Amino acid sequence: MFSKNLAMILSTTLMYSTPLIFTSLGGIFSENAGVVNIGLEGMMTIGAFAGAAAAVMTGNPWIAFLVAGIAGGIFALLHAIATIKFNADHVVSGIAINFLAPGFALFLCRRLFDGSTMTPPMQLTQKMPRPLNGIFAKGSFMDIVFNTYSTVYIAFALVFVTWFILYKTKLGLRIRAVGEHPKAADTLGINVYKMKYLCVILSGILAGFGGASMSLAIVSTFRPTLISGQGYIALAAVIFGKWKPQGAMLASLLFGASTGLVVFLGNPSVGFSVSENLLSMVPYLITLIVLVLFVGKGNGPAANGQIYEKGER
């Protein structure tokens, strides 16, 4: 029984960490290039909607997943234009995205699905597949933990890819240079604006994937409260993880584990009565404590959130 319970907790932890991992990787690209992206929340929401809507319409979860990334990317482009081209305050522009993207998601949802703010439930074939289905004995520990959605595997693979790009390639070095000291980067012939655009758009695509991993896998529909706050939590995971992909992954796993615990303990058959609400508070409290104890000042990219203007002294 214990191993089965543990398997259940691990499985929900992995599932609920996934949207946060995708989105926090987005945040890592954007912030390492010096653009604060508080709009991740909105980009996740539009991704969750676009994914669910495309899945119902096309019947293909992979097309839906891509559509979700594109939808997130479009709103990220808006953020990029405002912050990079028109010197907008990064936080303010992000707030605007957090009004715009959910607004568009619900508007389109009502237009496409007879005035409903929810997308119709998906068929099993329209959801993300489980690549390891049937490999392990049904109900075994391995089956419960690893017979999970492909989005989970993609997310963890992308953690490695992001780490590799940022720390082992020329492109990554350029991205980090732009976030640390754009002027110096510019002097060395790096196109600062191009790097920033690339990273911000990438962050929206990843946030869109994050939203879709919620609506195409964990829950098989889009509804207005589906994302509620996860984009902000992903942002906290970025800072918590000190702007590094592996750090953000661990932070996302921590948040996912607390959701996993809430889901597990909320099951009446477990017979454990601690308030679900108090338990839900834990990850936020831990984040605050960790920020107080370990993060403190000045760990992020030096020029993060600053407006860069070519040729300015």
Partner 1 sequence: MKKNKKIINDTLLYTLISIFLGLLVGAVVLAASGFSPIDGYAEMIKGIFGKPKYLAWTVVKSTPLILTGLSVAFAFRTGLFNIGAEGQFIVGALTATLVGYFVHVPAIIHIPLTLLSGCLAGAIWGGIAGILKSKFGVNEVISTIMLNWIAFYLSNYFIMMDGFKKPGTEASFNIQDTATIDIKWLKSLVGPATKVNWGIVIALILVVIISYLLYKTVLGFELRAVGFNKYAAEYAGINVNKSMVISMAIAGLLAGSAGAMHVMGVSHKITILAAQEGFGFDGIAVALIGNNTPIGAILGGFLFGALKYGGGKMQNIGAPTEVINIVIGSIIYFIAASRMVKIIIDKMRGGKADV
Kindly state whether residue 287 participates in binding partner 1, applying the rule CB under 8 A. Answer: yes
Q: Residue 207 and residue 235: Cα distance in Å, rounded?
A: 11
Kindly state whether residue 272 participates in binding partner 1, applying the rule CB under 8 A. Answer: no
* Three-class DSSP category at 71: helix
Sign of the torsion formed by the C-alpha atoms of 64, 66, 67 and 68: positive
Return the range that interacts with partner 1 (CB under 8 A); candidates 12-20, 89-97, 133-141, 263-271: 89-97
Kindly state whether residue 232 participates in binding partner 1, applying the rule CB under 8 A. Answer: yes
Kindly state whether residue 91 participates in binding partner 1, applying the rule CB under 8 A. Answer: yes
Kindly state whether residue 86 participates in binding partner 1, applying the rule CB under 8 A. Answer: yes
Q: Nearest 5°: phi and psi at 227?
A: -90, -35
Closest C-alpha among 17, 67, 15 to residue 46:
67
Residues 6 or more apart whose CB falls under 8 angstroms from that of 159 comprise 21, 25, 245, 246, 248, 249
**From 267, 291, 302, 310, residue interacting with partner 1 (rule: CB under 8 A):** 291
What's the min distance (Å) between Cβ of 204 and partner 1?
Answer: 15
Kindly state whether residue 295 participates in binding partner 1, applying the rule CB under 8 A. Answer: yes
Kindly state whether residue 258 participates in binding partner 1, applying the rule CB under 8 A. Answer: no
CB 49 within 8 A of CB 222: yes
Return the range that interacts with partner 1 (CB under 8 A); candidates 14-22, 54-62, 188-196, 296-304: 296-304
**From 15, 96, 201, 254, residue interacting with partner 1 (rule: CB under 8 A):** 96
Count of Cβ atoms closer than 10 Å to residue 2 Cβ: 6
Question: What tokens appear for 76 in the block?
Answer: 């990220």
CB-side neighbour CA atoms (13 Å) of 39: 37
Return the range that interacts with partner 1 (CB under 8 A); candidates 53-61, 131-139, 172-180, 294-302: 294-302
Q: Residue 158 and residue 166: Cα distance in Å, rounded?
A: 12
Q: Which is nearer to partner 1, 190 or 295 (CB)?
A: 295
CB 59 within 8 A of CB 126: yes
Q: Which of residues 19-48 bind partner 1 (CB under 8 A)?
A: 38
Interacting residues toward partner 1 by CB under 8 A = 38, 78, 81-82, 85-89, 91-93, 95-104, 106-107, 110-111, 115, 224-225, 228-229, 232-233, 235-236, 239, 275, 277-278, 280-281, 284-285, 287-288, 291-292, 295-298
